Amino acid sequence: MSQKFDVVVIGAGPGGYVAAIRAAQLGLKTACIEKYIGKEGKVALGGTCLNVGCIPSKALLDSSYKYHEAKEAFAVHGIEAKGVTIDVPAMVARKANIVKNLTGGIATLFKANGVTSFEGHGKVLANKQVEITGLDGKVQVLEAENIIIASGSKPVEIPPAPLTDDIIVDSTGALEFQAVPKKLGVIGAGVIGLELGSVWARLGAEVTVLEALDKFLPAADEQIAKEALKVLTKQGLNIRLGARVTGTEVKKKQVTVTFTDANGEQKETFDKLIVAVGRRPVTTDLLAADSGVTLDERGFIFVDDHCKTSVPGVFAIGDVVRGAMLAHKASEEGVMVAERIAGHKAQMNYDLIPSVIYTHPEIAWVGKTEQQLKGEGVEVNVGTFPFAASGRAMAANDTTGLVKVIADAKTDRVLGVHVIGPSAAELVQQGAIAMEFGTSAEDLGMMVFSHPTLSEALHEAALAVNGHAIHIANRKKR
């Protein structure tokens, strides 16, 4: 006899496990299915984010930046650090331990909230049934009142650069290097490529980033993207725009990459090559032919604004549906869906999902860019404030970058906050909170910000929108 649940969640990543916990909190009998096998040979919860994405990459970014600071930036503080070295295996082991603690924590949360966990591959059948193929090959079927598909995504592979065991790798493989490559190639100048390129550049690798597009960070505000390109280039990343990879050849523990750019065909040889050209939804053997769930033209599960699929009672969230592939977007969709299943009128503001690139300086934004707004015919006022004028940034010797606030010229309502600089992710989140409540630039300017803080840069940028900045000369409105 099959088991019956109010909610069955397929996938225990940042969307799935959050949805399962929230559903259980709301009194719904909930199950969550996961098949990912971690480094210890056991099923590991947490999905890409905790196992091979957000968390491990940030661990390496933080470790590599501390090494960089010790070698290059301590002297200005009067700190002498001689003979600083990096133990890469120890750094990678620290990362692995963080992952282990966090993924194990989800199992504890499941138990505390009464979520039933199943190990194996989940598949949606007709009539809201879910088939589970266990790790031992045994099959069982669950009956579900509601199904939430949160199967996530995986790295895109490209024919010109097929992955190898240790020379040509994807983002997962790039987290496991046991030594610093002398020459590192990265295909793709997106979030993943820039973050991983930064990790190994700080540790001493000569890094070349090959980006097929002619424009750098096209999703970001042009002023921020221009500043980011300048800063990252100065840090040693050789970013080649308009460089389309056409082939690779692995020979003698090195890889020669062939690509074309404005100068014609080029060749570069690297010790390691990271392929970071994006991610695609995981739908392999996920939907039975008679499940009724449909995919859109790009291979994503079709859903409406509330993540409902074409089948009543079946929802899909996170990387497997439309929109940005971001862990926080998936998590909030999970909460929204769980609450709607429980009868609440939950909704999600897709216009205010922050984006962050965890290079140093960080790059982050929320809302619309100046280019988007002008393209829509919206008249705007813009205020900027450089961290070079921030007392707190000066004290920390971290003055690169700026804060940009964009407001509607007629209503003064804040429409976008864009930052490159220290703690950009945190500052943008302050902007997101303000924008969620319809804050004007004047409102932000009237708020009291503690001193000295980096947040004052957001305050000053908001003041600058209307020509009222105190700590820089004001520009005329445009």
192 belongs to an annotated ligand binding site: yes
CB atoms within 10 A of CB 469: 21
Side chain identity at residue 421, one-letter code? G
155: tokens are: 């790295």
Q: Tell me which residue of 170, 234, 224 sits closest to 201, measured CA to CA.
A: 234
Do the annotations mark residue 319 as ligand-binding?
yes
Peptide bond into 452 cis (omega under 30): yes
Work out the widest C-alpha separation in the chain, in whole angstroms.
74
- Dist CA 14 CA 140 (whole Å): 25
Flag whether 122 is marked binding. Answer: yes
Determine which helix (DSSP H) or strand (DSSP E) holds 386, and give its type and residue range: strand 380-386
Q: Is 191 labeled as ligand-binding?
A: yes
328 is in an annotated binding site: yes
Say if residue 206 carries a ligand binding annotation: no
Ligand-binding site membership of 327 (annotated) = yes
Was 9 annotated as part of a binding site?
A: no
Collapsing DSSP to helix, strand or coil, 24 comes out as: helix
Give CA–CA dist 236/214, Å, rounded. Answer: 20
Pairing of strands 168-169, 314-316: unpaired
Classify the phi-psi angles of 448: left when phi > 0, otherwise alpha if psi is within -120 to 50, otherwise beta: beta
471 is catalytic: no
Is 383 annotated as contributing to ligand binding? no
**Is 213 annotated as belonging to a binding site?**
no
Q: Tell me if 408 is assigned to a ligand binding site.
A: no
Burial of 26 (0-12, 13-18, 19+ CB in 10 A): middle
**Active-site residue identified among 306, 344, 360, 451:** 451
Rounded Cα distance between 207 and 198, Å, is 8
**Of 158, 191, 182, which is closest to residue 259 (Cα–Cα)?**
158
* Cα–Cα distance measured from residue 118 to residue 212, given in angstroms and rounded to the nearest whole number: 42
Q: Is residue 26 part of an annotated ligand binding site?
A: no
Nearest to 208 by CA among 227, 187, 229: 187
Please enumerate, by residue number, every residue annotated as part of a binding site for NAD(+).
188-195, 211, 278
Please enumerate, by residue number, every residue annotated as part of a binding site for FAD.
58, 122, 319, 325-328
Please enumerate, by residue number, every residue annotated as part of a binding site.
58, 122, 188-195, 211, 278, 319, 325-328
- Catalytic residue numbers read 451
